[in-house]
Amino acid sequence: MLITLIKFKYLSFFREKTLRRRVVSLTGISPKSINLYKSAITHKSLNNLPSEDLSNDDNERLEFLGDAILSAVIADYLFRKYPGCKEGLLTLMRSKMVNRENLNNVAILMGFDKMVLIPKNGIPAKKNIYGNALEAIIGAIYIDKGFKKAKQFIKSRIIRLHPDIDQLVCDDLDFKSRIIRWGQKSKQEISFESYELNKPNTPEPVFVATVYIEKNPAGEGLGTTKKKAQQDAARKALENLPS
């Protein structure tokens, strides 16, 4: 009995040491409470499996906390990086950055697919379990080390691995392309009409553009060039489309 107990404690110590080393490699942070990180990488399906080595905690509560912290840090990052962007575009960019599929891909790039504890028979990949574990790790860092360390981890490890943010901005600012893509997806015809206003006393030309959906006017815009007027018209039309 004593030998069995000593063996179990030795194995637990060895596994904890291995986990600690992996957490440091993954996050750059030396944990105070390794059990928090153990919970963060434990999928809820393991709660139903008997095991002497796993705690009863899974990562759902930590995921909830980490999701809120990640969203706040991303919002702060975008707000400071793009001072000229409107609220709607900032919200759209943040949504893309914390999108479940994108976050899952980032987590795999970081190596979470080799750390998350799941049943031996596995669970469906579409569950985005690695992205969920990444959010749970953020929650664990926040509790263990505070908001400053969690923010540092997000900026240095997650934002750095995210697809080009500047390209996201360019894509989202191209309203004409966006509404054309929407039309193709919805199988509705999109067309534009433009003309120049006759204003002799203005220092710059003024163009008016109208975007039509199935020959029905959906938005009208102004601009100093035909292209700018069409972009303005498309932007207004997109604001009225169902989400």
Question: Which active-site residues does the annotation give?
Answer: 67, 135
What are the tokens at 182?
A: 């929407």
Q: Rounded distance, CA 142 to CA 152, Å?
A: 11
**Given the structure tokens 């912290």, which residue do they identify?**
69
Q: Angle formed by the axes of helices 87-97 and 60-81, to 10°?
A: 140
Q: Where are the beta strands (DSSP E) in 57-215?
A: 190-196, 207-213
User: For residue 134, which of 152, 107, 153 has the smallest C-alpha distance?
Assistant: 107
Helix pair angle (175-186, 226-239), 10° resolution: 50
| Rg of the chain on CA atoms, in Å | 25
* Residue appearing with tokens 């028979």: 121
Identify residue 75 by its one-letter amino acid code: A
Half-sphere exposure of 28 (CA within 13 A, CB side): 11
The four Cα atoms 10, 11, 13, 15 give a dihedral, to 10 degrees, of 160
Rounded to an integer, what distance in angstroms lies between the CA atom of residue 40 and that of residue 64?
Answer: 11
